[in-house]
Structure 1
Amino acid sequence: MCKMTEGLSLKQMQGSSVQTALFKAVEHGNDEFLRQLFTANILALGIHDENAKSMFQFSIECRQEKVYNFFHEFIRIMNVRTEFRVDKFNNTLLHSAARLSPPTQLKHIQCAALQMQRELQWFKEVEKIVPAKFLEVVNYADGMTARDLFTKNHKELANEGERSMKATATSCTVVAALIVTIMFIAVFSVPGGTKAGYPLFLNKRIFMVFIVADVFSLFSSTTSVVTFLGILNSRYAEDDFLKSLPTKMVIGLFTLFSSMVTMVIAFSSTLFLMLEAKEWIVVPIILLASVPIVSFVWMQFSHLVEIFISTYGAGIFVANQKGKPWSFSSHRLF
């Protein structure tokens, strides 16, 4: 394909198998093919489909971040402003970002709230690069600006994300409230009882482990309850899915996980105090007590990590970062 395109004009490539191959490469995220073909003939960058839609715009519709990053960096280096034009229906790049992602792209994301977050990340990213005059452009098909179109297309996803977050927050609030109750009672029911107003095991190190673990579990579970209540009482505006709600969910799940761990530590230290001479029975009980933690890690910890990475990780857009050197020299681009 590269050999075939060498020396061809833009008019000769437009509407040919070259156009078909390029748009297929964009659709499937094959940025390496685009690099090689543009190396052979830089004029291929100007190819568009029958609706005057550019490959850059199509990459946003298909949510192919590798191709998007490639075009963005290419346009930034070469200052190719023509890629910010509108198509036949007056759709801008931002209108493409306002459309719902293909199902094949969304199915890899665990829950509706994170899917909504990813959609917002795409929209905000494209919003940063388009000229300001494009923000209020109204397209012909819908008669809407990109922001209005985004709200229309993502209304159901936002509602589904709200339902999923509320369901998670409700169930976690119940668990955290139970831990608060248990640990509050435990701190006043010290193991071994008291003597002359002081705990019987006050001078033992393991008793201090119990006290610290109990207090930490109490405060972290209380924080978890407050955080999940904040999620339940949120406005659930579109932009809340970008940072606010994921941050609350991370804090809530992390503090809940911490309270469960310290609760088991408090329970284990109590057993050591009460059954110090019978370690053969203490160890199996502690292992059984670890089952809730293992269950939580298995069911929720991966979700916590995914939310954290999605919100605070490096992200999928690397066009503004220093990337790999171009596989072609600048004099071949003209």
Structure 2
Amino acid sequence: MHRDATELLQAMCNLIKSTIDSRSQSDYYNNVILEASSQNANDVVETIVSYFPNAIWSFNEDGHNIIQYAVINRSEKVYNLLYQMSEHKNVYKTIIDPLGNNLLHLAARLAPTNKLNHISGAALQIQRELQWFKEVKGFVCPRNIIQKNYFGETPEMVFIREHKELLIEGEKWMKATAESYTIAAALITTIVFAAAITMPGGNNQETGIPILTNSPAFRIFALCDAVSLFTSTTSLLMFLSVLTTRFAEQDFLFKLPTKLIIGLTTMFISTTAMLIGFGATLFLLFGQNNPQILFPIAALTCLPITSCATLQFPLIKDLISSTYGRNIFGKKSDRPFY
């Protein structure tokens, strides 16, 4: 379907170029290339510009060209075409719209709702907005960073005003998530600490050494209990750190997501180790004379571990991908563009 659509687009471009007067051709491609820019259809933009180079300067009713429109609509694939442009891209470093907004002012606006809805969680939404602002800030001229528009606002002032509500929602999301996991981490810490001082099988009354210390199952229990205690404590500290942070805008870029990633990962490790240690204890107490009991114990142990992984993995994946994954900005093709 994509190949057929590309061939149809090329056929239409050829038809317009061969049958329409050059002065009227813009009437046919202007709205199309702007719509493609808003929909992140970079291949459509590239194809149209290859046939009609002047299409790069198409403007909408607000006076925004395709790159400005791509920034407003958070179309990163179209924006990345700047990295394939020649020296013409320097025009976008200083260009302003009819209201005096430079490219960084446009990046400081709140993204359209349909773009934000594709990102899970208000914290990750404001993180993506900060990534856009940081990217465009590194592209424009230094003086544009503090340049004011016709309303007397710098790009940073626009960003703070536009994202005020989203920042509040991001703070609520972070706190709610951290509070929920803090309770779970505290419970696990309490359980595994109690298990560490209450050895299964009891201790030798004369030496104080656990009676079952030479059993492989006991060693598994001791190792898992220690791992669970240390990781749950780390998780608890990370979630408490999230709750006590100041929640500034820049904290959502790396600081807060990193703390949440560490907290969730150590939480999963502690839960897994606790369940394995509990399974080892059951085998230690009831499986010495009945080794076949190992199979139902292992099956039941895997059930909550699998549930925990299924529930937590999507959130951890989104956090890692958004914070440390492949950058959505940069040169993605060697094909020259205008």
TM-score (ref. length: structure 1):
0.90
How far residue 17 of structure 1 moved from its aligned partner, in angstroms, is: 2.7
Q: Deviations over 1:22-63 (max 9, x none)?
A: 101111111111111211122221222343322101000011
* Identity score, percent: 39
Alignment of 1:64-83 (within 5 A): 64-70=75-81, 72-75=82-85, 77-83=86-92
- Change in CA separation of 1:9 and 1:66 when aligned onto 2, cut-off 3 Å: farther
- Change in CA separation of 1:8 and 1:78 when aligned onto 2, cut-off 3 Å: farther
How far residue 315 of structure 1 moved from its aligned partner, in angstroms, is: 2.3
Structure 2 gaps, min length 5: 1-11
How far residue 286 of structure 1 moved from its aligned partner, in angstroms, is: 4.1
Q: Which residue of 1 aligns with 2:176?
A: 167
Alignment of 1:4-43 (within 5 A): 4-5=16-17, 12-13=24-25, 16-43=27-54
> Of 147, 165, 178, which residue of structure 2 is paired with 1:137?
147
Does the CA contact (< 8 Å) of 1:176 and 1:222 recur in 2? yes
How far residue 256 of structure 1 moved from its aligned partner, in angstroms, is: 0.4
C-alpha RMSD of the superposition: 2.0
Structure 1 position 194 matched with structure 2 position 203: yes
Does the CA contact (< 8 Å) of 1:138 and 1:144 recur in 2? yes
Does the CA contact (< 8 Å) of 1:217 and 1:258 recur in 2? yes
Q: Which of the pair has the greater relative contact order for Cα pairs under 8 Å at 6+ separation?
A: 2
Cα distance in 2 for partners of 1:121, 1:38 equals 28
Structure 1 position 308 matched with structure 2 position 317: no
Q: Which residue of 1 aligns with 2:232?
A: 221
* AA partner of residue 251 (structure 1): I
Structure 1 position 89 matched with structure 2 position 99: yes
Does the CA contact (< 8 Å) of 2:84 and 2:336 recur in 1? no
How far residue 268 of structure 1 moved from its aligned partner, in angstroms, is: 1.1
How far residue 100 of structure 1 moved from its aligned partner, in angstroms, is: 0.9
Alignment of 1:1-334 (within 5 A): 1-3=12-14, 4-5=16-17, 12-13=24-25, 16-70=27-81, 72-75=82-85, 77-84=86-93, 85-140=95-150, 142-195=151-204, 196=206, 197-275=208-286, 276-319=288-331, 323-326=332-335
- Change in CA separation of 1:224 and 1:318 when aligned onto 2, cut-off 3 Å: same
- Change in CA separation of 1:135 and 1:309 when aligned onto 2, cut-off 3 Å: same
Q: Secondary structure at the match of 2:33?
A: helix
Q: Secondary structure at the match of 1:198?
A: coil
* AA partner of residue 223 (structure 1): T
TM-score (ref. length: structure 2):
0.89
Q: Secondary structure at the match of 2:99?
A: coil
- Change in CA separation of 1:267 and 1:131 when aligned onto 2, cut-off 3 Å: same
Cα distance in 2 for partners of 1:2, 1:271 equals 73
- Change in CA separation of 1:26 and 1:82 when aligned onto 2, cut-off 3 Å: same
How far residue 10 of structure 1 moved from its aligned partner, in angstroms, is: 8.6
How far residue 299 of structure 1 moved from its aligned partner, in angstroms, is: 2.0
- Change in CA separation of 1:294 and 1:135 when aligned onto 2, cut-off 3 Å: same
Does the CA contact (< 8 Å) of 1:9 and 1:43 recur in 2? no
- Change in CA separation of 1:122 and 1:152 when aligned onto 2, cut-off 3 Å: same
Cα distance in 2 for partners of 1:38, 1:61 equals 20
Q: Secondary structure at the match of 2:119?
A: coil
